[in-house]
């Protein structure tokens, strides 16, 4: 057994799994090694989405528990009106003056703009753009770091770890979830995957299809670090406070 195969076998055994998958040689069309052929990769991705839909209620419940354990402030909303009210309450409690939002459809569906402006705060969108002029970048950063709250939807969520997954793109600058001191994420049923395995199955399929976004943000609670003297400090590299609003 080669060193590479031994390494993969050790990791597999440590994870408590039986089948040891060994990657094939690099594919000529992609230049990367793969554990499965394209048909198997697509099947894995389809299965991940079907599982998320079929087990939506169960996985949402698991996500709520894991997210709370990870440090999210978890809220359950029975309808869009309740979700909008929760957002307005957070804005009022934080005395927010400036709010940024993504263009996730779920935010329009719950009326996030009206909810925020009803508290007296302003709301805007910081675009993720391919324009790299220094003036444009500086303006975008200044707007994001001066905002009190950032609000996003969720591209995926991971029930196993309480993680929110975001793909920065047009209509979703990564700064919306990273720069403001408070981040609110709105999750709808069907967005929750069981584990990172399902997420990576989807990402692999998107990569082969040429649809993979340029980057991926995995958010598991508020920003924290223990680099200094082993003491955990919250809010160093991102939001100090994070809220997850789960639509029923």
Distance CA 153, CA 105 (A): 8
Q: Which of 174, 198, 196, 183 is nearest to 53 (CA)?
A: 198
Q: Give residue-wise pLDDT tens across range 58-72.
A: 999 999 999 999 999
Distance CA 144, CA 238 (A): 12
Q: Which of 75, 107, 90, 95 is nearest to 125 (CA)?
A: 107
Q: How far apart are the first and last CA of the chain?
A: 50
Question: Which backbone phi and psi does 51 adopt, to 5 degrees?
Answer: -65, -40
Q: Which of 187, 50, 182, 193 is nearest to 109 (CA)?
A: 187
Question: What CATH number should be reported for the domain whose range is 35-247?
Answer: 3.40.50.10420
Q: Which of 158, 128, 129, 169 is nearest to 219 (CA)?
A: 158
Per-residue model confidence (pLDDT) at position 30: 46
What residue ranges do the domains of the chain occupy?
35-247
Q: Give residue-wise pLDDT tens across range 110-128.
A: 999 999 999 999 999 876 5
């Amino acid at each position: 057994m080669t060193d590479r195969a031994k390494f993969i076998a050790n990791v597999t055994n440590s994870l408590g799994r039986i089948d040891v998958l060994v990657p094939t040689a690099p594919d000529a069309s992609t230049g990367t090694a793969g554990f499965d052929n394209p048909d198997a990769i697509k099947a894995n991705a389809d299965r991940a989405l079907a599982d998320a839909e079929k087990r939506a209620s169960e996985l949402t419940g698991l996500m709520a528990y894991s997210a709370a354990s990870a440090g999210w402030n978890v809220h359950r909303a029975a309808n869009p009106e309740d979700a909008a009210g929760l957002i307005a309450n957070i804005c009022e409690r934080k005395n927010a003056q400036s709010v940024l939002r993504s263009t996730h459809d779920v935010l329009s569906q719950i009326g996030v703009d009206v909810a925020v402006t009803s508290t007296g705060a302003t709301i805007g969108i910081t675009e993720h753009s391919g324009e790299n002029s220094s003036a444009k970048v500086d303006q975008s950063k200044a707007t994001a770091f001066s905002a009190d709250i950032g609000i996003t939807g969720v591209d995926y969520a991971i029930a196993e770890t309480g993680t929110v997954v975001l793909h920065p793109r047009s209509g979703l600058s990564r700064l919306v979830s990273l720069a403001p001191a408070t981040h609110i994420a709105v999750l709808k049923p069907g967005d929750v995957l069981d584990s990172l395995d399902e997420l990576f199955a989807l990402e692999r399929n998107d990569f082969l299809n040429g649809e993979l976004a340029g980057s991926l943000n995995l958010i598991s609670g508020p920003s924290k670090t223990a680099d200094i003297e082993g003491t955990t400090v919250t809010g160093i590299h991102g939001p100090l406070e994070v809220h997850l609003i789960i639509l029923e």
